[in-house]
Chains A and B, each alone.
Chain A
Amino acid sequence: MVDGETLDRPSMAFDQRLSLVAGMLQRFTWEQSELGPTRTRVQLGGQITIDDAAALWKRISETLIHIEEGLQGIEVELSRVDRLDGACMALLVQFRTDLRQRNVRCEFVGGSEEVRRIVDLYGGRSRVRQTRAKRRPVSAIAQVGEATLSVIDEAKQILDFFGRLLASTVHVARHPKRLNLRDVGLTIERAGADAAPIVLLINFLIGFVMAYQSAAQLKQFGASIYVADLVGVSMTRELGPLMMAIIICGRSGAAFAAELGTMKVSEEVDALRTLGFLPLPFLVIPRMLGLILLAPVLVLMADAIGICGGALVASLALDITPASFLIQLQSAVKASDILSGIIKGTVFCAAIALISCQQGLATTGGAEGVGRRTTSAVVGILFTLILLDALFTVLLGVFGI
């Protein structure tokens, strides 16, 4: 019937339809007359379909606003209605509910057989269901409070997960045969080998841009050669591990959260447990181990390619030969710079695995839940990366590394 109606719908000019939808034009009649001192009749007529819903709702709202004191009943007469569809009937039922809440009786009378069917189907003759309580707007302070509590709750859950993960890691260390080596290899391949090209490209460009931006400034002071120090130290200590972690977060963090989230909502995680496999040692530890193992390699690659980018700019824009660049680099970059970058990168990767897997396994609901948790994982990881980076900067500074 719906299809038929859609097919039967007469073609209308765009502006006419726009007017109908906006409630500025109506194709039906709404005549109000007094039946007595306490009763009113609303005589409806013509076509009342989804296109007329806006106009009908407008009339209903106006009628509700102008209800006089002492009115006891409204009779909605439908005998002149040629056509009535479900959407408009729903609005009329809502009209009746609103009237009854004001102690005004309302009934639908008359109507062709087709119209009566719609009236009956939408509860026109039966009892009125309770309307849902209106949602009260939440104040800004309450919203901030709720958001804060939810962040604290989320942090607690991650810490709880971290604790359980540590206990599980100890168990796996004692029983190494229980480790799911297949997933370790798969993680190294997907998050490492597959991510290598993008890590190389991004870090090359970062080194290139950094050198290019600083070249002009350094040239003014005749300190062009220090571009090697700038690129070398910032790539190894800061940007190499950070950019690598951001790429791993975008690729693997999101993938872990979505993958585990989908497994959770499709009961695969429950099925694993019933077959004797616990999610932490079987799903989480292999992914974390895979990322931890590949982190030093990716960080070193990121450092090297970033420095290459810087060397290229130095050679092209500052006339510094690669040999001079290398000699200057050797004096500027210490082993501790590279080591601190590797430690940072490894901790970043562990944090990525921890948060993404925790979010994935906390997924509830269907596809929407997976999407929500994946977004939360990526946002949470990015926030944590910056936080950890700041923490590392302070700690490494304190220890003079």
Chain B
Amino acid sequence: MSKPMVTVRDLCMGYGKTTLLRDASFEVERGDIFVILGGSGCGKSTLLRHLIGLEDPISGTISIAGMGTPRLDGAAPRFGVMFQSGALFSSMTVGENVAFALQEWTHLPLEAVDAIVRAKLALVGLEGAESKLPAELSGGMRKRAAIARAMAFEPNLIFLDEPSAGLDPVSAVELDELILALNRNLGLTVVMVTHELESIFKVGKHCIMLDRETRSIIARGEPQQLRSESDDPRVRRFFNRETSVPQWQ
């Protein structure tokens, strides 16, 4: 049996004097679409930042593809990341954004890089957008371009931070379908943070749910199974969209 793609053991994380998560352990299998979910402020995005090596945990270990803690020390990328805002480099065109890491880390001639850029943009449905600036793209297109940039280096693992947040329903569904297609056709392992229920049920194969109050993982499993079988009121409230705020008449 192959090693898990991501292994987290006894992770304790936070910032300053605030602890956001205590003793969290989980694994992400190869080829999985793993969703980290939970309400606002529970530390989903912070957990993602720890997984990709942008933050150091207080204690515990994170291992990517059995190669130990991810360190962003100026080496070729081992995985792709799409940030919540897309985080495209605003001074570069979309094509330059996608080509950026390729030019630095490979010795491919310019024509070959261009061909790869065109193919990656076509993969995410952005044919012909090479020469556009990020500011000229819509929110959904920007996120697609960010996925193309994350995919440029042929990773077998990609991290997505709230991919469908702030998108119109059609763009959100298109993005979900793109994630499914990448997973199905390329065997890409996807770790994503979201609280969009439609996305969770559509693309998520496994998930963990974080809780702000207990600062722990309160549920894990398949999203459909959690919705129908969980006894935890916090999980039921999340999946059934129950609210503690008074209902206005």
Contact = CB atoms under 8 A, between A and B. Distances in A.
Contacts of A268: 87-90
Interface in A228-284: 266-268, 270-278, 281
A386 interface: no
Interface string B46-83: 00010010100000000000000000111111011101
A277 B77 CA distance: 9
A123 B249 CA distance: 12
Contacts of A178: 74
Given A117-B249, A120-B249, A275-B100, A266 B81 contact: no
Given A273-B72, A276-B72, 7 more contacts: A120-B248, A268-B88, A270-B54, A274-B54, A274-B81, A275-B149, A276-B75
A126 interface: yes
A121 interface: yes
Given A278-B74, A281-B74, A271 B248 contact: no
Pick the 5 closest A-B CB pairs, nearest first. A267-B87, A271-B87, A274-B81, A275-B101, A267-B83
Nearest to B76: A276
Contacts of A277: 74, 104
Interface of A: 117, 120-121, 123, 126, 178, 266-268, 270-278, 281
Interface residues on B, range: 20 to 34
Contacts of B49: 270
Interface of B: 49, 52, 54, 72-77, 79-81, 83-85, 87-90, 100-101, 104-105, 149, 153, 246, 248-249
Contacts of B80: 274
Nearest to B248: A121
B52 A274 contact: yes
A309 to B, nearest CB: 38
B54 A273 contact: yes
10 contacts: A126-B246, A266-B85, A267-B87, A270-B54, A270-B81, A271-B83, A271-B149, A274-B79, A277-B74, A278-B72
Given A266-B87, A267-B85, A268-B87, A274 B77 contact: yes
Contacts of A266: 85, 87, 90
B141 to A, nearest CB: 17
A178 B74 CA distance: 10
A392 B75 CA distance: 41
Nearest to A280: B74
B90 A276 contact: no
Contacts of B246: 123, 126
B160 to A, nearest CB: 12
Contact of B81 (A117, A271, A278): A271
Given A117-B249, A120-B248, A276-B104, A270 B74 contact: no
A178 to B, nearest CB: 7
